[in-house]
């Protein structure tokens, strides 16, 4: 949990809120079909709907830094390096602007490629 103290009291931000911010910023990037969720029992990757977008994100919070793992499905034929650079830039900006805390580490996992 991220904690911030000011003159009005304490602000606590739970990792699920950060995960929703990450999911929203990620799905707005070109070439991203959506967030992915891998079923542990059978290994099948599922495309998540908007209401479950945070399940494709794992957020770990330290005292004042955030570590993020993002699992996505991309469109076939797009440049994966360009997509991941766009995601890392957009997500870092969105999280740091919304929370005021820095992103220490971000891992992007391409779990599936979808052909149109």
Say if residues 109 and 70 touch (Cβ distance below 8 Å).
yes
**85 Cβ contact partners less than 8 Å away, ≥ 6 residues apart:** none
Provide the Cα torsion 59, 62, 64, 66; round to 10°: -20
What's the rounded Cα separation, in Å, for the pair 67 and 95?
11
Q: What is the pLDDT of residue 4?
A: 85
Q: Work out how many domains the chain is built from and give that number.
A: 1
Structural domain of 96: 2-114
Tell me: the pLDDT tens digits for 53-62?
888 899 999 8
**CATH at residue 88:** 3.30.70.1350
Q: How confident is the model at residue 40 (pLDDT cuts 50, 70, 90)?
A: low
Tell me: the pLDDT tens digits for 93-115?
999 999 999 999 999 999 999 98
Buried/exposed code over 74-84 (b: 16+ C-beta within 10 A; e: otherwise): beeeeeeeebb
């Amino acid at each position: 949990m991220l904690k911030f103290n000011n003159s009005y009291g304490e602000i606590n931000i739970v990792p699920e809120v950060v995960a929703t911010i990450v999911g929203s910023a990620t799905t707005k990037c070109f070439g991203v079909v959506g967030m992915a969720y891998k079923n542990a029992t059978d290994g099948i990757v599922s495309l998540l709907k908007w209401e479950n977008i945070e399940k494709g994100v794992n957020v770990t919070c330290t005292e004042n830094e955030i570590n993020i793992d993002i699992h996505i499905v991309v469109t076939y034929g797009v440049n994966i390096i360009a997509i991941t650079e766009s995601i890392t830039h957009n997500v870092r900006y969105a999280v740091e602007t919304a929370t005021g805390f820095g992103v220490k580490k971000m891992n992007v996992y391409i779990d599936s490629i979808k052909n149109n």
